[in-house]
Amino acid sequence: MHANHLLLEEPIRMASILEPSRANFFPATTKIVGTLGPRSRSVEVISGCLKAGMSDIFNFFPAMTKIVGTLGSRSRSVEVISGCLKAGMSVARFDFSLGDPEYHQETLENLRAAVKATNKLCAFVCMENILYEKLFPMFVGGGGTKVAAAVMVGGGRSDVGVMLDTVGPELQVVNTIEKTISLEEDGKVVLTPHNGQEASPEVLPINFSGLAKAVKKGDTIFIGQYLFTGSETTSVWLEVDEVNGEDVVCVIKNTATLAGSLFTLHASQIHIDLPTLSEKDKEVISTWGVKNKIDFLSLSYTRHAEDVREAREFLAKHGDLSQTQIFAKIENVEGLTHFDEILQEADGIILSRGNLGIDLPPEKVFLFQKAAVYKCNMAGKPAVVTRVVDSMTGNLRPTRAEATDVANAVLDGSDAILLGAETLRGLYPIETISIVKKICAEAEKVFNQDLYFKKTVKYVGEPMSHLESIASSAVRAAIKVKASVIICFTSSGRAARLIAKYRPTMPVLSVVIPRLKTNQLKWSFSGAFEARQSLIVRGLFPMLADPRHPAESTSATNESILKVALDHGKASGVIKSHDRVVICQKVGDSSVIKIIELED
């Protein structure tokens, strides 16, 4: 990979740093609940409260950059998940390297309850074996008369996508008795594949018999519980001293205390001869994944494009998951070496900076991020960055370096920030999401969209494809007329994603037109997957329209759907009187870009 196409921002006015933080075209993510009483019950005072920031029911649009939250021990109750949703989490990640399917199913049920409690429709819930009126109750008028409408299913407020994170070829240290293990610097410890052996400061049993064949003297190994860098006392940095049969004898490089039943082992820059999709992963996908119709599969330790192809073939065998998007998780140098071909096969990329940050020299990590995000941007595929606020697992405030890191990820062009340990076992999952969202919103204000747009157009080159031309023209038009929002009618979601690829400064409202269908046994509709999968794309906020009306229709019904979208924009504060709106729509065989100006 080469990092010769890096996006540089224009100088920022120093005065803007001293100005109070405020949103530009959307309200703040953190909500204010105001108690109305004797001093605050008149229309005049209540209006002032709303203008000052008290949340109303239409506060839909958070920052453009999306947040993926990992649900776990500290974030699986209905109360905490509700707080995470309100703070701005748009995709829920389930990490199957920790916990069994029953554990995650209970968490998912709590997520569904939280969605209901917060009035956020969770479209990933199976909507089958039910009648049309139950699918779309708001389309049924008095006396059973059906009326055209559009229902919001996304946009950070009313829907959550579900991501299943595989275990993959992850090496683990097994501590069955959960006894605390203290390791002293300069001491020695033996890694052995004999799982029957009890873990101790002298011996650590592992789940892989081929480690002795894969490593050599001088190689580096890290061991810790979920979060490890070798710099904290809860993980240990080892150096291979000798190989003795199936055992690997290591020198301990730092004093550490390991607590828990399972620890991750990472052998730096070592090829591990294990399949990317393990048998355990396949079982989880074919049972839990199918049952819950997962939106995204996070493919851990992706090393080759063939890994993605094999995963897609496996998903295709399970009809309900044929539309599930695969996000390749780049975690080691082997995956980095084959990055271009992996990007071509995957639907998106997760830059797993934890493991990869160990494999790479520290001075190369930022180059990898900038180059990888750039390549994802140009390909129009989501780039997700991990490990941004590690310190918030135990602190209410990120470090200065972490806050800057989040902002730089946004300025680099990242679509989403993935929070792992910070929300899974961190003490402050809600506050973490809220703070990261605020940093993202602030960084978006100084993102150099003009330079980004020109670089993207130049990269795509000429002649452009029909769809690419329409998408770039819609963004150009929206910027030229200073539109408040771009509304895109789509069936597959591809047109809306291409518009978002050009990073418009205004939100893109993707009106997904579903298709109602039946196999004689049950009713279902397409479009829900496409809408939910937009929740990980920067700046894209999906809506699900009445499935009876195709995206290319010229009938008055589409005007009704457009009216609902415009009304939604007005209610959320994105669109105001006399604002201009750019609409991208298929009319017959033609694609049309329309600019409208709203009346009073």
Rounded to two decimals, what is the model's pTM? 0.83
Alpha carbon 418 to its chain centroid, in Å, reads: 6
Burial of 213 (0-12, 13-18, 19+ CB in 10 A): exposed
Q: Which two tokens stand for residue 383?
A: 């780039």
H-type alpha helices, 10-143: 14-18, 43-52, 78-87, 101-117, 132-135
Instruction: Supply the CATH classification number for the domain 171-267.
Output: 2.40.33.10
Mean per-residue pLDDT, 28-51: 65
Residue 570: what pLDDT?
Answer: 83
What number of other Cβ atoms are within 10 A of residue 382's Cβ? 28
Residue 133: what pLDDT?
Answer: 29
Model pLDDT for residues 286-342, shown as the tens digit of each residue: 999 999 999 999 999 999 999 999 999 999 998 779 899 999 999 999 999 999 999
Domain ranges of the chain: 171-267, 450-597
Give me the count of residues in the chain.
600
Q: Which two tokens stand for residue 217?
A: 């003297």
Say what the alpha-carbon torsion angle 519, 522, 527, 530 is, to the nearest 10 degrees.
-100
Question: Confidence class of residue 531 from pLDDT cuts 50, 70 and 90?
Answer: confident
Question: Confidence class of residue 153 from pLDDT cuts 50, 70 and 90?
Answer: very low
Residue 523: what pLDDT?
Answer: 66
Q: Which two tokens stand for residue 420?
A: 């792992």
CA pair distance 372, 566, nearest whole angstrom: 36
Question: Confidence class of residue 521 from pLDDT cuts 50, 70 and 90?
Answer: low
Mean per-residue pLDDT, 493-517: 89
Of residues 465 and 158, which shows the higher confidence score? 465
Which of 175, 354, 355 lies closest to 257, judged by CA? Answer: 175
Instruction: Supply the CATH classification number for the domain 450-597.
Output: 3.40.1380.20
Question: Confidence class of residue 157 from pLDDT cuts 50, 70 and 90?
Answer: very low
